[in-house]
Amino acid sequence: MKREDFFFPSLFDRLTGTQAVVAGRNGARLPDRKGLLASIQRDLSFLLNSITAYHIAPDSDEPYSTSVIGFGFPCLNGQTSSQGTAKQIERWIRQAIVRFEPRIDPVSLKVIPLLNGAESHHQLLAFQIAGYVLANPVPIELLLRTQLDVENGRFSVSEY
């Protein structure tokens, strides 16, 4: 896949026509910077809030873990929040993004648990997701915050 291919809107965006676009080379409709980041934020929310079809860990080496069968995240309902759990979920978030979000450069991707402060407490685990979106002519910085409600297993993804 060529680098400029990463800048094209996703199939979902093209079908719904909801993304802001700018005219590109040869009249192609390309997402603007803000639209691209919003699309990635939305898609990460879909990824993290989808329950994988099989109860496999996202860091599994099974062949189906990288297919649509493995898309999503393990069910986390009722988990307790602890530093050990946060480290495991941090690895799972990173692995899920590397496998299923090709627009983010895996080398630049950092998932950091935010264990201190008001962002995390006994029912919420917060993480910072940072990296670069592969875009032409230069990569775009991505900085998101996600919170996991450990009681219901739902993630919220927002700009940081």
Residue 86 has what pLDDT? 85
3-state secondary structure of 125: strand
Residue 52 has what pLDDT? 83
Q: What percent of the chain has pLDDT over 70?
A: 69
How far lies 15's CA from each of 10, 28, 40, in Å? Answer: 9, 15, 16
d(CA 15, CA 136): 23
Residue 1 has what pLDDT? 44
Residue 58 has what pLDDT? 55
Position 17 confidence tier, pLDDT thresholds 50, 70, 90: low
Strand partners, 143: 130
Share in percent of the chain as helix, strand, coil (round to 5): 35, 25, 40
Q: Which tens digit of pLDDT belongs to each residue from 81-105?
A: 665 688 889 999 999 999 999 999 9
Lowest mean pLDDT among 7-21, 41-55, 56-70, 94-108: 7-21
Position 118 confidence tier, pLDDT thresholds 50, 70, 90: low
139: closest CA among 160, 108, 99, 112? 108
Q: Provide the token pair at 63.
A: 């062949």
